[in-house]
Chain A
């Protein structure tokens, strides 16, 4: 039954993506949906680390940035094909995650938060100050569009399908990991690291592995972002961006794959809708996030499911 429900959800998701992709002609809406897709990837990547394994990262935008900058530098400065830059971008983020993860993931709780925060800041400063390579504070211009063989992703519609295809694959991959032996071990680390170790889970190794996976997914999002906008600047990958990813995970629902999608959607759409409030935009934005956390403390996904059950219960009586 569980498997069937999953299949229906996947089917709905795929059909929704296809219908939206074909029917929408408005560039603005397509762009918005592409951004939701990229943010979903980011939220999904952090959710594996934070929601499932229980390890907080306040520097996740750094991996997003590494993915974007590596492909920008390779494709523009060195004229590498974008498709060849992809493994380099993702690989670079994985190597950095591995090197940083081994000492940092020994920390836990607030201290891990602090450690990753510091890491994020260092990478952000690197993007901003290493002007000869990264273009510095004014950004990196002239990134070419993404070409894969004969396919050129230079229209919004084609990019929409590309990004959501990657999102779908990532969701399937995460789902499979979570339902596997390794996924159970990840959740056990979240509940009790010592207990997990006592039953034979190599907690240190597993934490670094999930950190590396998470960095790879974030770098993938960064790669897609760079070839979408053709221009990147350090501000996109700063501390606030890291916090936004954390917020998406928490608002959407920790340890929930679809929660990443809901959280990313809400946080991408809210600022657009709230333009109407002009100078009060940020106030309303903050109030909405606060209300979600007060009334749906377990995030949108669990919250909506709980409300549904409560509703059904009250009707059964």
Chain B
């Protein structure tokens, strides 16, 4: 009811109309409008409702800084909450809705909260809603809190990541930034400019000075043309730098969706040097009802006229503290808007003298109107009296806040400048410098000098050209009016997004919050989407006056990334989603497994948990497979095992350091089980070592730890024991076909590997090399199942072939493929542990039955000293035991506790548990305090309210004599 489109003027395409809807109603705008400018042009005043009090709110500021115009944009899978309307370009078919208002933004039931302002003060939820208990109120508070709606469907937008490098990165393509880029490129540097707005120009898009001279606009046009034709400047518009990291690494979001085939591009940029030219944002004045629709910042007011051809209102009052209103006054004249009055809080001494009939020494005490300003009450700064003026708009020109969020993220330090009443950069931690309005300049001439200096300085710092001298700059002289004392503090808003008032800040000071960081968290100041762009400096000023400290002593809030909101989709572009998120490792024989009914799960690699040919369940299939292995023979894919070759005169000596046991006595062709400990003496990995020759060993590490073991070996070799040896990771080179069972030897014989496979010639824990059908094969006789077992290694490209070939050869002997689940049953029946399943970060070798170090091991090894600690000898340590249930059909839960006493205390827990088909009863392994000494004792095992009786027993359930292995 107040804003309207001007007949001419602005940079929008008046020939190209755009149709969009807002809160379900259709509207028309022009190409080049933002949602905010188009709505104002259509006379919309109320854009949304505030967070806590649900007060009507309208357009206040511009760009990323506007606190009031958060919108829900789009519908369905593409809907996004909390986007400021000032940053949404209108497009045909755009759907926009207010948030935080029901049933409508014009009539919102939530406004009842405004009536209860006295109770809903800062931190009210810490002091109320306690009785009878918080849990009753929490769901209500949670429903009331939050803004906007989250999409319920998967995101259908497309994203991509780009990596960029350059010599000089300029942030901001206003007058200063463009000059900086041109200067740096002129010195020979490779330059990238990133501009958050859709076009370059910055302040010149709305501010051309009181004399309405076109110099600045022409200058910008010329510069943009030169930038476009310069081969070593790349300019990216619609690209917002959101975070600044170490060593000039910056992250930006590119939303230039017309040009690229993706919706958003995540950019990771490494720059040699950086120039910050982000400009400044108009501050608010803080007075009673300063949040009403119709109160607008001077830069946003001027931008509506000059960039969008829109008048914000018909009758305006301008509120200023000195000279900064000149642009708004000129713009109002250009648009033919009536200026009812200019209220100037300064006293008009000296150079502030004006002859435009402004009310000197006066302030606005109060804005009147609820859904739109209808007038203001003006009072003198000192003394009595009050004037009421009718108007529909209040333009506030309180001074500029330099945008230094990215600069402070880089580690740069700010200091309060009394003259300009703003925080300005004072020292950099990285290769970065600030120029233009974000360095406090307030004229185009200063911005140009500052920009040129910054560009030359940035280029020189990375070896292009000479370092320039620092120019003399003019800066604004401000007499800040932090807040109007005559106003009621309860509706003088400091942070419009959080509904934080002067009264809230005064309360937090009364409650003895001293640090601004604490005040922020107590009042929620600066915690909204605008993140203190408008509210930050305003609050510092208010706190400074209320507390008597200077703003410099109050200090600033710490700025953290991102500078403005980033979609999660864009962030996911670097890490990817779904199947691309992490490498999915498939076995070489994956297709062969599939053909045999493998049901795959992610065990680090995609591996068959079991094979189901006719709709078997996992339990049924695994039981069948485990029985088949012990009855005849089974075939398992052991390819993921870690395989590392160590060769050199010091190889054995090195292995003695790495393992708790002795590897120097391992004979050629023999294999030994080994435990690797960390320096704390705890188990890190178990595996086997094969002696290929006196100075050549092959380590097999468990599949789950392969990468970690490789890193471990290299670290100890390079950092601690740089012995004469080499280490190679051969994990990817070899596929492993594991043949296990009483008939395994027959199968191996049928493969004709070229060596004697008899029990005498090829005993358990030994190694042979040969050929199978001409393909080189290494065979290790080791077992995780307790049966006769051969691990046949061939080059991985033959991995599918070997499984196929072995299966054919094994048909005669009833060979059956078996998966991970069956293997788990078999190894648990034998009491064989999995490190990190049956051990935890405290478990030491003796706890699992390996009393290392042996008497003959004289040399040091990793963890040896820790095994000597008193705690390592305590009889009450958690030790590996078996648990046999009283009822053989009851299978214990993994993680169930072994309990004793009343109230029950945990003295251990179940680590592995299965129904054993070979024994016909349940079996379990556990870690239990003093478990070895408790063998034979009855125990209670508790899980989720149920208690099961059992007996502590030997963890080896099957073939206790260990006779089968040596068959």
Q: Decide if A and B are genuine partners.
A: no
Residues of B within 8 A of A (CB): none
